[in-house]
Amino acid sequence: MDERKDSQINPTKYGTTVARKSGRELVVTRTFNGPAHIVFDAWTKPELLKRWWAPKSTGMSFLSCEADVRTGGTYRFVFSHPSLEQPMAFFGRYVEVTPGSRLIWTNDEGDEDGPITTVTFEERGGETLVVVHELYPSKEALDDAMASGSISWSGEQFEQLDQLLAAPGASAGQA
């Protein structure tokens, strides 16, 4: 009856958006209720990064977080997860560090070229708009990343689950 109002809750003010801007690019946006210097600190000080980069809900633990955040500096993040036999390391180099406004880093842990991540910080009236831009070396690289990430969600198991879901009310799938 009054379901419609539910979808009107807080349009986008502090919501996270993601778009595939082109074949090679993903863009994430989010606004934070704080000035750019604070938001920038939270992205660049290892002891602060550790507090949000691997949220508890994922079951991941941050084992170590080293980041020499200056142009040409390197980072190395090591995580563990109950499903992994060994910890995983992610590392790369900061291509550009402009305090309070821009960060660019490489993602070097894979065998092939990884994406280049650019994060911009834009302060507006005490709030900060953060834009995370990931540029893959080619459209194929991004397609591959997406395909490999979809495998476990696209199999017949999910068709079965869909059927099961459709059964009780039969209206769940309708708009």
List binders of other proteins among 110-149 (CB under 8 A): 110-115, 117, 132, 134, 141, 144-149
Query: Where in 81-126 does DSSP place strands (E)?
Result: 88-98, 102-106, 116-124
Nearer to other proteins, 124 or 175 (CB): 175
Examine residue 163 and tell whether it contacts other proteins (CB under 8 A): no
Q: Which is nearer to other proteins, 125 or 173 (CB)?
A: 173
Residue with tokens 């992610």: 90
CB burial class (10 A; 0-12, 13-18, 19+) of residue 62? Answer: middle
Nearer to other proteins, 71 or 160 (CB): 160
CB closer to other proteins out of 63 and 145: 145
List binders of other proteins among 55-84 (CB under 8 A).
Answer: 55-60, 77, 79, 81-84
- Amino acid code (one letter) for 163: Q
Stretch that binds other proteins, among 9-17, 64-72, 96-104 (CB under 8 A): 9-17
User: Residues 6 or more apart from 32 whose CB is under 8 A from it?
Assistant: 14, 39, 127, 128, 130
3 binds other proteins (CB under 8 A): yes
Query: Binding to other proteins by residue 53, rule CB under 8 A?
Result: yes
Judged by DSSP in three states, 108 sits in coil
